[in-house]
Amino acid sequence: MTNETLGIIGGTGWLGGSIAKAVLAKGLFPAGKLVVSNRSGTHPLAQQGASLVTDNQALVDRSDMVIIAVRPEHFASLHINAAGKTIISLMAGITAQTIAAQTSASAVVRAMPNAAVEIEQSFTPWYCFGAMDALGKNLVQRLFECVGTAAEVQEEGFIDYLSALSGTGPAFPALLLTALSNQAIAAGIPADIAQLAAKNVVVNSSQLLASRDPQEIIDALVAYRGVTAAALQAMTHGHFSALIGRALQEGAAVARKGLQS
């Protein structure tokens, strides 16, 4: 447990709310040291002793570390002075420099969790801009470990690229699941069976990857020269890797473009 006070601007949202719940459940911050804000003024965590405010400056004044968990388009209207404090931004596409200039924060962390914060299974890369000692960085790391795994990266540009990779959370698997299921239905498999089969591949069988090397699994299955090998080869010949590369570049380009607006 830390002595610092954490403020979460937008603490009722998907990401902000999940992080607030997790840091309390994991005991990293006691309820008395958590302040959350939103515009509507209601939050279930208020019943657990966390403070709820609608005045973002009041939240900043009470906090040592402030997470900004509002959507990027709402950032310009925040008008907060965080001089001497650390800001952790979850917003895609707004540079650390822009955030530092607009808030006067002494350090800005740009972090990119994903929707799996909800089940404490996010991967959160984070980048630090400005002055932050080892204790501060350790707290940031522990904060994001409350909702999964986390790692500091040394270049801000990595955050833009990773926004399109891990930041998308369940999006790529959802697309794969839907494609597998729809193709099976089109091939005449009953819809309920197609959906069970596709869900098993993407959600259940893939659990093996938690403890097994993916390339070894591919190599072993291709070595059988059977059904799986034929299916995977069709993917390779269809330039699957290149398509993934293009998808990531397109997503990263949007993240970078956001930086300039």
| Binding stretches for ligand NAP (CB under 6 A) | 9-10, 12-16, 37-40, 56, 69-72, 74, 77-78, 90-92, 112-115, 167, 169
Give the C-alpha separation, 253 to 234, whole Å.
29
SS3 per-residue string spanning 55-119: CHHHHHHHCCEEEECCCHHHHHHCCCCCECCEEEECCCCCCHHHHHHHHCECEEEEECCCHHHHH
| Type of residue found at 89 | S
Which residue sits closest to ligand NAP, CB atoms considered? 13
Give the C-alpha separation, 72 to 10, whole Å.
11
Q: Using only C-alpha atoms, what is the Rg of the chain?
A: 21
**Comparison of 38 and 102: residue with beta carbon closer to ligand NAP:** 38
CB of 54 to ligand NAP, least distance (A): 7
**Comparison of 42 and 211: residue with beta carbon closer to ligand NAP:** 42
**Comparison of 170 and 218: residue with beta carbon closer to ligand NAP:** 170
**Comparison of 78 and 87: residue with beta carbon closer to ligand NAP:** 78
CB of 211 to ligand NAP, least distance (A): 26
CB of 11 to ligand NAP, least distance (A): 7
**Comparison of 39 and 257: residue with beta carbon closer to ligand NAP:** 39
SS3 at position 125: strand
Longest dimension (CA), the chain: 65
CB of 161 to ligand NAP, least distance (A): 13
Nearest to 124 by CA among 73, 95, 159, 171: 159
CB of 113 to ligand NAP, least distance (A): 6
**Comparison of 38 and 95: residue with beta carbon closer to ligand NAP:** 38
CB of 111 to ligand NAP, least distance (A): 8
